[in-house]
Amino acid sequence: MKPITEYQDYRRYMQDFYEEHKKSGFTWREFSKDAGFASPSYLKLVCEGKSSLSRVGLPRVAAAMKLSGFELSYFEKMVEFGNATNDEKKKAAFADLTRIAKEQHARVIDADTFAYYESAINSIVRELAPLMPGALPLEIAKKIKHAFTAQQVRDSLAMLTKAKFLEETDENTYQQTDKAITGSSEAIPLALRAMNREMTDLAKEAIDKIDVNERNISGVTMGIDAATFARISEEVDNCRKRVITLANECKKIDQVYRLNLQLFPLTDKV
């Protein structure tokens, strides 16, 4: 079984614990009994996502899995992360997961990707810094059309190089290590939501700040059904992929752009 710090989903961790011990005849009934639950299928339902582990049940399950020390603390934060009802609580719990892992000289999977997507400044700096060899953070900040400070750029450069999303080839000179940044952990959608909020705010600023000849902002309000929504969503996804291909083919980059693709309901279903 993998070390606990390689998990962010407590249900998956419990499922893997069960699978590991099932080899020697362990059953869901025994697991529930060891944790002090009357229902023989309760923990199975938790792992299937049909129920959540409560604060009362958490220490019982942790004891049944013989967790102690940092593993117990990490499991508690996994439950907190998994059961969080809003993004702020999830972010706080994920920060604690990362801290506990670092204290054990371990790494939370996709923690660097989470940090990258958490703020809009990181994607801007990752694209802009390689275009400005030798530039100081203040010079980079002045090139950005929105209000980011030199300190924000400096912090972003430090994160990007530490995470190896940028490589410093000379003093204040950077190159990208890969064209794309990907992640698949439970935390990535949380960070993406934070970045998309920021990028949407920047798009609103662009309506007033950017000359109409330098931007393309439009929209359409329409009445459709679920099947048409699915078809349009697929078309939007395909368009985004084609745009990425065009961008990757560009050999003389001289500016950083952001494309927001937004399709969302304005009303409840009638």
Q: In tens digits, what is the pLDDT along the chain, a chain of 270 residues?
A: 888 998 989 999 999 999 999 988 999 999 999 999 999 999 999 999 999 999 899 999 999 999 999 999 999 999 999 999 998 899 899 989 989 988 887 867 678 888 888 889 999 999 999 999 999 999 999 999 988 999 999 999 999 999 889 999 999 999 998 766 766 667 788 888 888 999 999 999 999 989 999 999 999 999 999 999 999 999 999 999 999 899 989 989 999 999 999 999 989 888
Identify which of 1, 4, 59, 2 has the alpha carbon closest to the alpha carbon of residue 34: 59
Q: What is the pLDDT of residue 118?
A: 84
Identify which of 150, 169, 145, 8 has the alpha carbon closest to the alpha carbon of residue 75: 8
Q: What is the pLDDT of residue 192?
A: 85
Helices (H) and strands (E) in the chain, counts: 12, 2
Q: Where are the domains of the chain?
A: 4-104
Q: What is the pLDDT of residue 237?
A: 93
Rounded to a whole number of angstroms, the distance between the first and last alpha carbons of the chain is: 49
Give the domain 4-104 fold: 434 Repressor (Amino-terminal Domain) (1.10.260)
Q: What is the pLDDT of residue 102?
A: 85
- The runs of H, that is alpha helices, within the chain are 10-22, 28-34, 42-47, 57-64, 69-83, 87-103, 111-118, 120-128, 137-143, 150-162, 188-209, 226-249
Quote the tokens at residue 100: 């506990």
